[in-house]
Structure 1
Amino acid sequence: MVQLKLLVLFLVRLVAPLHYEGSGYSSDENFHNEVYVEEAPRTPVLDHRAPRWCYSLNLPDGETACYSPQGGNYRSTLGTRCLLSCDHGFRLIGPRSVQCLASRHWSGIAYCRRIRCHVLPALPNGSYYCSIGVHVDSRCDYTCAPGYLIEGDRSRTCMEDGTWSGTEPICVDIEPPKIQCPPSREKVAEPNKLTALVNWNLPQAKDSADGIITRVKLRGPEPGSELPEGEQIIRYTAYDRAYNKASCKFTVKVQVRRCPVLKPPLHGYITCTSAGNNYGATCNYFCDGGYDRQGLPSRVCLFSQVWAGSQPICVPMKINVGVNSAEAFMDQFFEKRRLLLVSAPESSDRFYKLQNTILQQATCGLDLRHVTVIELVGQPPREVGRIRELQLSDEIVEALRQALHLSRSYFSVVLVDKYGMDRERYREPVSSDELFTFIDNYLLSQQEAALRARSTDPCE
C-alpha cells in the first residue's frame, strides 16, 4: 500500500508541467524564475598532423605550389597554403591562393580557362589562314585575291590578353585591267570616193581583280565610219571600279588609188568627178568654142591606176557655109559659139568702119569668149555675107536677116548666145569693153566663169 502511494506521487509530479502548455517555462522555472542557456558546441580539436585533412588539390591546365606548416610532405594538411597559376595560354579564374581550412575544405575554388581571341572578320577580296584558330600564339596570315594588293599588316597574332596584334589590312585593286584592241588594218577607198567604210570589232576588256569594267572610252572615229584618206589612230581606254585604267590603240589606213593627173587638151578643158584622178573618177573632155573634139568624150580612172582609153584632141571647127537653110547654118554653132552679126547698108558706112576696127583689135578677146563675127554688108545684088574669108550664100544671108530682123537700111549689131537667142542689140558701134562686160556678166556658163576665174587673161 505504501509502495502504491509512492508510485502515484511520482507520476503526479512527472505530469504536472503539462498543465502549463504554451508558457515556455516548466513548473519549477515558474516557481523559481530560473533561465537555462544552451552551451556553445565545443571546437573540435585540430590536428595539424593529419596527413589528408583537405582533399588533394588538382588544377587542370595549371599548377599549384603548396606550403604546409608540417613541411613539404604534408601538402593537404590543415593550414596548408597553395599558390595557383595557369599554363601559357590559359587564364586563372578565381583566387590566386587557397588555404586548407578546419572545415576540411579549401578556402576558394579556381580553374584555368583557355584564352581565346575573337574571330577575325572576313577580308573583302581576300582571305586569311590561322595556324591554331583563335587561341594564344595563333598566327593568321592574310592574302588577297588575284589583282589585289594587301595594304597593312600581312599577319596578326593572338596575344595573351585576348586581343590580336596589329590592325586589319585591306585588299586594294591597284592592277590595271586588261584590254586588247583589234589589229591594225588598211582599206582602199571605194570607187569615185575619197573615203572608205571601215568596221572593226570592239576591244576585249577585263579587270584582273573582279572582272568588272565600268567604262570603255573611245578616242577616235566609231566603227562603221567613213574614214578619209590617210592614217587614223583609234584608242580605247578601259576603267575598272577602282578607277584603274588601261589603254590600247590600233591604226586604220585608208588608201586612195590615183591615176596620173590628166592635162586638158589644147584649146579645151576637162571636168572630173570626185578628186579628179582617184579610182573611179570620170573626166569629161570639152573643147573651146570654135573647136571640135576628136576622140572619146570621157575617161575613167581604173583600179590599176591607169586611165581607160586615150586622150582626145580639139581641132578647129569647120564651118559649112554650103548648107541649105539658116537653121542648119545656125545649128553648127549651137552650144559652141556665140554670134555677133554686124549689119551695114554699105561698106563705106562710117559706123561700120569704126566697128570693124574695134572688132579687129578685139580678136583675142572674142575668141576667148567664143564669139564668131558675121558681117552682112551692102544691098542686093552686091550684098556680101561672110565669116572672115568664108562667103555666105544669098539665101543664107536673106534667111539670117529675116530670122533676126536685120534691116539693110541702117547700121546695127546683134549679139546671139550659144543657144541661138537674140540677147542684145546696138544701133551704134559698141566698144570691146562694153561688149565683153555684157558677155562676162550675162552669157558665160558656170563652167566658163570658173575657168575664167582660175586662169589669167591671155590677151593682156
Structure 2
Amino acid sequence: PSPGSGYHAAEAYNNEVYVEETPHTPTLDYRVPQWCYPLSIHHGEAICYSPWGGNYRSSLGTRCELSCDRGFRLFGQRSVQCLPSRHWSGMAYCRQIRCHVLLALHYGSYQCTAGVLVDSRCDYACLPGYQLEGDRTRMCMEDGRWSGSEPICVDIEPPKIRCPDSRERIAEPEKLTATVYWDPPHVKDSADGIIKRVTLRGPEPGSEFPEGEHVIRYTAYDQAYNRASCKFVVRVQVSRCPVLKPPQNGYLSCTSAGNNYGAMCNYFCDGGYDRQGTPSRICQSSHQWSGSQPTCVPMQINVDVNSAASLLDQFFEKRRLLIVSAPDPSDRFYKMQIAMLQQATCGLDLRHITIIELVGQPPSEVGRIQEQQLSASIIEQLRQFLQITRSRFNMVLVDKQGTDRERFIEPIDTDQLFDFIDTYLLSSQEATRHAENRDLCE
C-alpha cells in the first residue's frame, strides 16, 4: 500500500470484515396507497387526509376523522391514524340512538311515526270526555331524550243530564194538592261513565204539591266533580166553583178552600132563624155548585104544644132563653129589668136570646114569648122544670143545649149579662160572627 491509501502496514495481515447486525424493520414507503386496510364505518363516515393526496385514503400517515349518520352515536376513537404497523391507531362504531318507551297515558293514547328512534314524532290524544293538558306532540331528540314533558288527560267535560218533561196536574177532589210522580233524570258521564252523585232541589217524587208552579232541579256530579243541571216544572191547578155568599141572617161552613172541586159548604142560620132549602152544596167537576141557595127565615115559635119540653125543644141549639119571673106586674125589680132589656134588643138578638116572661099569680098569671101567650099548664110545667118561684123576682139564663147556666135574684145590667155570655157561652163560630158584627149595635 502506498502512502495515503488509507490502510496501515499492520493491517495488511488481517482481512476479516465485521458487520454489526440491526433488527428487521419494514421498509417505510409512504407511497403505498393501501398501507392500512380501508376504513368503512357502518351508518357513519370517515373523512381522511393523506400527505399524498386524495387517492391515498389509507396510506401510511393518513389521519381520518370519524362521524356517524343522524340517529346514530359514535363509540370509540373520533380520530385515527394509519400507523407503520399497518393498523389504525384505534377503532370506532356507530350505534343507533333510541329514546325510552313513553309511559301509557291514563284516559288517552299516543301514536308515533318511528317508534322510539330519533326524529320520531309522537302525537297524544285523549278519550272522549277528556281534554289534553300539556304537550300534544313530543319528538325523540338526538340526545336520546324526548322533547317536552308528559301530558295528562283531564276530565273537564260535565256529565250529560236530561230531566223528565214538565207536567200539569189537577188537584184531587176535596184537596188543594196533587200527588205527582216522575222518573229520575237520565244521567251519563261523558268520560269514564262514573257518576259520583245526583242531588235534588225540590220535593221528592210522589210528594203532595200545592196549587201553583214548582221548579224541580237535579244536579249530577262526575268523579272529577264536574257538574251539570237540568230542571222541569210541576204545575198544579185547582178546579174551582164561584165563591158562595152566605145567606142573609146566616153563614156558611165549608170544607177545604171553600170553592174547590169536591168542597162541601153547609148552610147555617143565625139563632132565631130557620133554614129553608138544601142544607149543603158541593162544588162539582163542571165548576158549578149542586142544588140552589137556601134562605134563613125568622123561626116560628109554636106555643100550642102539649108540654114545656116540646116548647123548649124548639129552641135547642138555636136560641138562648132568658126567663124573667115576677110575683106581680108592678114589681119594681121586674119593671127595671124589662126596661133595660127593651133598650138592648139589638144585643139580645146578636147573642140569640129569646125572653120568656112569667108574671103574676094564678089564676091571673101571664106567660108570654114575644107577643104569644102561654097556657097555664105550660107555665106551671116551666116553673117546675126550671124551679122558678112565684114568690119573688128571679131570672134564669138557659143556654142553647137547654142547660140552666145562671140565676139572678136582682135586676142585672145588660152589659154585665152580655159580658157573661160572651165570655162563657159563645161557640167558636158564634165568637167569630160576633167579632164581625161587633159594631152593629153601636
Return the TM-score normalized by structure 1: 0.88
The letter for the 1-side match of 2:406 is E
- Structure 2: gaps of 5 or more residues: 1-20
Matched, 1:43 2:1: no
- Pairing of 1:409-420 with structure 2 (within 5 A): 409-420=391-402
User: What code does the residue aligned with 2:25 have?
Assistant: T
Aligned to 1:358, the other structure's residue is in SS state helix
1: CA distance, partners of 2:273 / 2:22: 162
Q: How does 1:332-343 map to 2 (within 5 A)?
A: 332-343=314-325
The superposition leaves residues 359-410 of structure 1 with CA deviations (integer Å, 9 ceiling, x where unpaired) of 1111111111111101111111111111121011111011001111111121
Which segment is superposed worse, 95-104 or 178-187?
95-104
The structural deviation recorded for 1:51 is 4.4
- Displacement of 1:232 in angstroms is 0.8
Q: Which amino acid aligns with 2:286?
A: S
* Cα deviation digits, residues 66-121 of structure 1 (max 9, x gap): 33344433333333322211111111111112223333322211111111111222
The equivalent position to 2:356 in structure 1, one of 366, 371, 374, is 374
> 1:363–1:455: structure 2 CA closer, same or farther, 3 Å change rule?
closer
**Which residue in 2 is equivalent to 1:426?**
408
Single out whichever of 78-87 and 418-427 deviates more from structure 2. Answer: 78-87
Which amino acid is the alignment partner of residue 270 of structure 1? Answer: L
User: Which residue of structure 2 lines up, in the alignment, with residue 237 of structure 1?
Assistant: 219
Equivalence for 1:270: 252
Question: Take 1:251 and 1:454, find their aligned partners in 2: how far apart are those partners?
Answer: 41
Within-5 A mapping of 1:49-448: 49-448=31-430
Instruction: Indicate conservation of the 8 Å contact 2:350/2:434, yes or no.
Output: no
1: CA distance, partners of 2:319 / 2:22? 162
Specify the SS of the correspondent of 1:413.
strand
Farther off after superposition, 91-100 or 314-323: 91-100
Structure label with greater radius of gyration? 1
Distance of aligned partners of 1:455 and 1:228 in 2 relative to their CA distance in 1, 3 Å threshold: farther
Cα deviation, residue 439, structure 1? 1.0
| Structure 1: runs of 5+ lacking an equivalent | 1-38
Q: Measure the CA separation in 2 of the matches of 1:129 and 1:163.
A: 17
TM superposition shift of 1:44: 3.4
Give the Cα–Cα distance (whole angstroms) in 1 for the partners of residues 294 and 399 of structure 2: 26
More displaced 10-residue stretch of structure 1: 264-273 or 41-50: 41-50
Q: Provide the TM-score with structure 2 as the length reference.
A: 0.91
Write the distance in 2 (CA, Å) between the matches of 1:347 and 1:40.
189
SS in structure 2 of the partner of residue 458 of structure 1: helix
> SS of the counterpart of 2:196?
strand
Quick check: 2:359–2:367 contact (8 Å CA) kept in 1?
A: yes
Give the whole-Å Cα distance in 1 for the aligned partners of 2:328 and 2:437.
40
2-side partners of 1:387 and 1:368: how far apart? Answer: 18
1:151-171 deviation line (CA, Å, top 9, x unaligned): 222211111111222222222
SS class of match (2:438): coil
Corresponding residue number in structure 1 for 2:14? none
State the AA in 1 paired with 2:130. Y
Out of 393-402 and 256-265, give the one that drifted further: 256-265
- What one-letter code is carried by the residue in structure 1 that aligns with 2:113? S
The separation in 2 between residues aligned to 1:393 and 1:272, in whole angstroms, is 42
Paired with 1:422 and 1:92, the residues of 2 have a C-alpha distance of 129
Structure 1 outlier segments of 4+, above 6 Å: none
Measure, in 1, the Cα distance between the counterparts of 2:108 and 2:129. 10
- Which residue type is aligned with residue 366 of structure 1? L
Shift of 1:220: 1.8
Instruction: Tell me which residue corresponds to 1:10.
Output: none
What amino acid does structure 2 have at the position aligned with 1:353? K
Aligned-partner SS, 1:398? helix
The answer to which of 345-354 and 41-50 deviates more is 41-50
Partners of 1:81 and 1:363 lie apart in 2 by: 146
Q: CA deviation at 1:412?
A: 0.8
**For residues 107-149 of structure 1, what are the alpha-carbon distances to aligned partners after superposition, in whole Å with 9 as ceiling and x for unaligned?**
2111111111112222222221111111111111111222222
Q: Where does residue 30 of structure 1 map in the other structure?
A: none
Specify the SS of the correspondent of 1:437.
helix
| Whole-angstrom distance in 2 between the partners of 1:304 and 1:118 | 83
AA matched with 1:392: L
Question: Whole-Å Cα distance in 2 between the matches of residues 262 and 377 of structure 1?
Answer: 46
Cα distance, 1:272 vs. partner? 0.9
In the alignment of these two chains, the number of paired residues is: 422
